[in-house]
Amino acid sequence: MSRLELERRVTGPFEMRVEEDTVRVVGHAAVFNQEADIGGFFRETIRPGAFAKAIARDDVPFLIEHADLPLARTRSGTLELIEDDSGLRIESELDALDPDVKRIVPKMRRGDLDKMSFAFLPVRQEWDDSGEIPLRILHEVRLFDVSIVTSPAYAGTDIALRSLEALRDTARRAAKSKAASMRIRLAKSLDLKVRSTLLNQDYGR
């Protein structure tokens, strides 16, 4: 699966505490039941439980800007992912002697790297297209990474929009099929009425 096909979302800041030999990072890479405006294209909300299967199944690295070597990962036990009441919580104790960690700690202190993000693919989703701006509801996702990032990014929105268009296309085809079925039933009904009228006329002669 090409990483260019993944979708990415950004949430708020995280907490960092630097100790003698560790850098503890805690924050939420995603939050539940909060509508987010995705680049003006659609709204999006994540339901509780959306990450439950991914946490149990996926090997998730902790990256910088969704790239480079991992700072930590779930498989090694250096990254912990938890679904709490707020959303997808991450906890990690980074090695303070790691050159990559040394490189980013000053940037995190200054606020240059101050947000959390996650890369995902939807597994179960639904669209509400009744409003002026469509609403996408994520019920289950596959996780590919969590990251420290600088600013919001909506990579992959075209994939979501294709999903919405596919839904609309399915609805249009269903509507056409229903209309065609109704026309056929109406034609059959009219045909039966005409035949019945003609038959009655024949018997009345």
Which DSSP helix (H) or strand (E) runs through 104? Answer: helix 99-110
Tell me: pLDDT of 204 over 70: no
pLDDT band at 48; cut points 50, 70, 90: very high
| 98 Cβ neighbours under 8 A, 6+ residues apart | 71
pTM of the model: 0.73
85 secondary structure, DSSP code = S
Task: Read off the tokens for 141.
Answer: 């996702």
49 secondary structure, DSSP code = T
pLDDT tens figures, 130-186: 888 899 999 999 999 998 888 655 544 455 666 677 767 776 776 666 655 666 666
What was the pLDDT predicted at 179?
58
Q: Furthest-apart CA pair in the chain: how many Å?
A: 109
